[in-house]
Homo-oligomer: A and B are copies of this chain.
Amino acid sequence: MTGARQQLIDSVRARFGERAAVTEPADIEPWLTDWRGRWHGRSDAILQPGSTEEVAAMIALAAELEIALVPQGGNTSMVGGATPPADGSALILSLRRMNRIRSIEKGTMRAVVEAGVILQTLHEAVAAKGVRFPLTLGAKGSATIGGLISTNAGGTQVLRFGPMRALVDGIEAVLPDGTVHDGLSGLKKDNRGYSLDQLLIGAEGTLGIVTAARLKLFPAIHSRAVAWLGLASPQAALDTLRALEAGTDRIEGFEILPRESLEAALDHIADLRAPLDGVHAWHALVEATVSQPGDEPPEDLLARLLAPLVDKGMVENAVISSSEAQAEAFWRIRDSLSEAERAAFGPATQHDISVPVDLMPRFMADAAAEIEQAFPGTHASGFGHLGDGNIHFHVRAGERGGADWLQREGPAVTQLVDDLVTAIGGSISAEHGIGQMKRDELERLSPDRMRTIRAIKAALDPHKLMNPGKLV
């Protein structure tokens, strides 16, 4: 350990007590590797501030000693965004002790929440007050508000509520020089120059550390219904979505999956049942919710809007959940797809990509064809958030497989996918961010964008002390 890192640890402990820095290797170990086990780092300590003032003081000390810090929330990054550098040069700064919900106000429909609050904890706290924070995703039991903001998280309800950026009404953060940016006052109009709040959202902790946020709340769900549709193609799914949207603003989720993914789930995951009897090339899960008891029940709404689409053949078949248990069962199929595909199909490259929504059906067909031609024997397909133009696109090794396929051909496959996405104006990172995983690809494909990002980073964090090695 260099003297400077030890000095930082000592100073932190002297000012904020023993537990403000964890140095026991066994306690640090679980936080050195990302949850999928792809990136491994080293760190002498985990700093654990308990308040914004402590974060500010620790960052100021670190800046003085030129020690880099890696902010961590739930450590659920999909792109290595929270793993410290392998050389051990940085310390982890964990926000997990900053886990207070400072306020939940129904009058203004806002909550002020510290960075270390776990998403599910927030869901439960606002539900107890009869309101709702709509963003949700698979990692909700671990992911924290600070991480969700720093990665502009998406999830399954983006269709109606937007990503985290649309749900944040103000941010409190500590900047690289240790000053506190306080954007929590809840001003509905504020035109004092560049929006630092907006700059910090999605910045992956590279411009400062988010310590708290003011979040938008919505009326609680009174009831929901989920329809499961059998469809001929992604284009039919998109046409169905547009037809539903023309009739209501109450569609919250619209997810699609191909037949083979459904079959993989039914074969490999316990306790799942096929929602429909017949065989369909594609499937969609559609969720509608209502918040007022007097509104048309969501199952009636879905039945009314879907009937003419079934009549005209746009939808081949449909079933609507008749109970919360059945709605939950439909979602369980969707949520098990990643695990099912791994079990059923072996190695695959995975791509969190987005394209303009209307172009997605064509992209799925054309990109799959190009990839299967360039890498004969592979199979390319996708499932996910069609309504957001965001598909989790997978290329399976197929007959080219073998233990080392990912290592051998993965990078070339990824480059081809990224090229195809970029060519039609899409994004190589729809919701997971850049982190360590996609940094080189972003540089390769978007040098102009990267130059701007780099200039802003250098301006605000000239000594590169904030989450080094991520994004830039």
Contact = CB atoms under 8 A, between A and B. Distances in A.
Nearest to A439: B193
A432 B189 CA distance: 10
Given A455-B459, A456-B456, A459-B456, A356 B186 contact: yes
A459 B300 CA distance: 56
A185 B425 contact: yes
A460 to B, nearest CB: 6
B455 A460 contact: yes
Given A179-B448, A358-B107, A203 B192 contact: no
B196 A452 contact: yes
A462 B366 CA distance: 43
A430 interface: yes
Interface string A187-217: 1111111111011011110010000000000
B434 A187 contact: no
A434 B191 contact: yes
Given A456-B459, A459-B456, A460-B456, A433 B194 contact: no
A165 B195 contact: yes
B427 A357 contact: no
A357 B108 contact: yes
Interface in A337-367: 354-358
Nearest to A185: B425
Contacts of A191: 151-152, 154, 202, 427, 429-434
A55 interface: no
A187 B456 contact: no
Interface residues of A, number: 65
A430 B354 CA distance: 35
Given A193-B453, A449-B196, A188 B458 contact: no
Contact of A190 (B187, B190, B429, B450): B429
Nearest to A182: B425
A426 B187 contact: yes
A242 B105 CA distance: 12
A355 B187 contact: yes
A76 interface: no
A373 to B, nearest CB: 26
A270 B456 CA distance: 53
Contacts of A185: 356, 425-426
Interface string A305-338: 0000000000000000000000000000000000
A253 interface: no
Nearest to A450: B193
Contact of A194 (B175, B199, B385): B199
Given A187-B389, A459-B458, A446 B354 contact: no
Contacts of A201: 195, 198
A428 B192 contact: yes
Interface in A203-236: 203-204, 207
Given A452-B175, A455-B460, A193 B471 contact: yes
Contacts of A151: 191
Given A193-B434, A456-B460, A107 B427 contact: no
A388 interface: yes
Interface string A406-448: 0000000000000000000111111111100000001000101
Interface string A105-121: 00110000000000000
Q: Which of A192, A193, A199 has the most chain B CB atoms closer than 10 A to its own CB? A: A193
Contacts of A199: 194-195, 198-199, 456
A341 B258 CA distance: 66
A108 B165 CA distance: 20
A204 to B, nearest CB: 8
Given A179-B448, A181-B449, 19 more contacts: A154-B191, A163-B189, A187-B356, A187-B425, A188-B354, A188-B357, A188-B387, A189-B354, A191-B429, A191-B433, A192-B427, A192-B429, A192-B442, A192-B449, A193-B204, A194-B207, A195-B201, A199-B456, A456-B456
Kindly list the 8 A-B residue pairs having the minimum CB-CB distance in the complex, ordered from nearest.
A459-B459, A185-B425, A198-B198, A455-B459, A189-B430, A190-B427, A188-B388, A193-B453
19 contacts: A108-B357, A108-B358, A151-B191, A165-B195, A181-B449, A186-B356, A187-B426, A188-B387, A188-B389, A190-B430, A191-B427, A192-B427, A192-B449, A193-B442, A194-B453, A194-B456, A195-B199, A199-B199, A456-B460
